[in-house]
């Protein structure tokens, strides 16, 4: 069963911080005008995530990665959320979806006086029983790739997993099957397979005129963040979101979305007895 089989999303939020107050003095009376500004966080995001596929969600800071996960999980309740989300071809029902999905947020707070590794070790000592050997408790903290391998094993059981990752090593990055890449402003610039040794991603971006080729022994994730930056777009005079919308990859993705928008024959929506 596909957890998030289809999504077409645009999000506009109106945070309280964007409300400005302007006072005009007219005839000795003070008047207050309130202006609200809509902040576009996601723009025309269309894609599919499927069971058995480990998907990486990436992009620079402020690209809308956390917002997209929050919308898909049903955690975003403010602002204007436009579009459609289908599960197994049927419109998503949040009450049912919440029972079959899990969402791990980035809420951990680390002390600036210790490293992240030390924070993880401290957490392991607090959470794991005293009967567990200390070496076993800290082993996972020293091999963060264990987390990705565990997620991969879960995906192999037929479940759908989407992970946001930051600055991964080559080994961790290439453990994923597909990539959703957002640029600053919440637009989609790539959605598709990574390919062996990131070949599919590299081939796509290198095919764009003017984009610098990847150098030998360069981390594909680091190179991708560099060549999709707003400064490179401005220098080359291109819009990577528009290039993606005009690509054959986008066309095939749209066909896949349409194919998965209809429930399979003899299937029914996920439900639980009342």
Q: Regarding predicted confidence, which is higher, 70 or 116?
A: 70
C-alpha closest to that of 182 among 3, 1, 51, 11? 11
Segment 204-208 shows an average pLDDT of: 96
Collect all residues with Cβ–Cβ distance below 8 Å to 39 and sequence separation of at least 6: 12, 13, 14, 15, 18
What would the pLDDT profile of 86-142 be if each residue is shown by its tens digit?
888 888 888 888 888 888 777 666 677 887 778 777 877 777 788 877 777 666 555
> In the 3-class helix/strand/coil scheme, how is 147-159 assigned residue by residue?
HHHHHHHHHCCCC
Average pLDDT, the chain: 80
Which CATH number does the domain 11-25+37-129+157-193+240-260 belong to among 3.40.50.10860, 3.40.50.300, 3.40.50.1100, 1.10.10.10? 3.40.50.300
pLDDT for residue 224 is more than 90: yes
Segment 166-176 shows an average pLDDT of: 87
- % of the chain beyond a pLDDT of 70: 81
Q: Give the model's pLDDT for residue 109.
A: 65
Helix axes 199-206, 220-227, angle to 10 degrees: 20
pLDDT for residue 63 is more than 80: yes
Report DSSP letters for 72-113, one per residue.
HHT---SSEEEEEEEETTEE--HHHHHHH-----S-----TT
Q: Regarding predicted confidence, which is higher, 8 or 192?
A: 192
What is the rounded CA–CA span in Å between residue 174 and residue 170?
6
Highest mean pLDDT pick, 11-20, 33-42, 173-182, 265-274? 173-182
């Amino acid at each position: 069963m596909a957890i998030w089989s289809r999504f077409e999303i645009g999000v506009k939020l109106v945070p309280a911080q964007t409300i400005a107050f302007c006072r005009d003095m007219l005839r000795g009376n003070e008047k207050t005008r309130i202006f609200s500004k809509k902040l576009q966080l996601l723009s025309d995001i269309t894609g599919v995530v499927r069971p058995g596929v480990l998907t990486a969600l990436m992009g620079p800071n402020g690209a809308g990665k956390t917002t997209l996960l929050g919308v898909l999980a049903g955690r975003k309740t403010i602002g204007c959320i436009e579009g459609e989300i289908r599960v197994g071809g049927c419109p998503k029902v949040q009450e049912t979806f919440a029972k079959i999905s899990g969402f791990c947020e980035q809420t951990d707070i680390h002390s600036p006086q210790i490293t992240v590794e030390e924070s993880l070790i401290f957490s392991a000592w607090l959470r794991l029983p005293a009967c567990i050997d200390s070496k076993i408790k800290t082993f996972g903290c020293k091999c963060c790739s264990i987390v990705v391998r565990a997620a991969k094993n879960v995906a192999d059981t037929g479940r759908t997993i989407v992970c946001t990752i930051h600055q991964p090593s080559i080994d961790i990055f290439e453990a994923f099957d597909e990539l959703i890449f957002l640029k600053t402003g919440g637009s989609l610039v790539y959605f598709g397979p990574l390919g062996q040794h990131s070949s599919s991603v590299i081939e796509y971006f290198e095919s764009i005129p003017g984009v610098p080729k990847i150098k030998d022994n360069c981390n594909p994730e680091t190179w991708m963040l560099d060549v999709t930056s707003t400064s490179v777009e401005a220098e080359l005079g291109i819009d990577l979101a528009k290039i993606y919308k005009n690509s054959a990859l986008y066309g095939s993705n749209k066909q896949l979305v349409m194919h998965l928008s209809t429930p399979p024959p003899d299937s029914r929506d996920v439900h639980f007895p009342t």
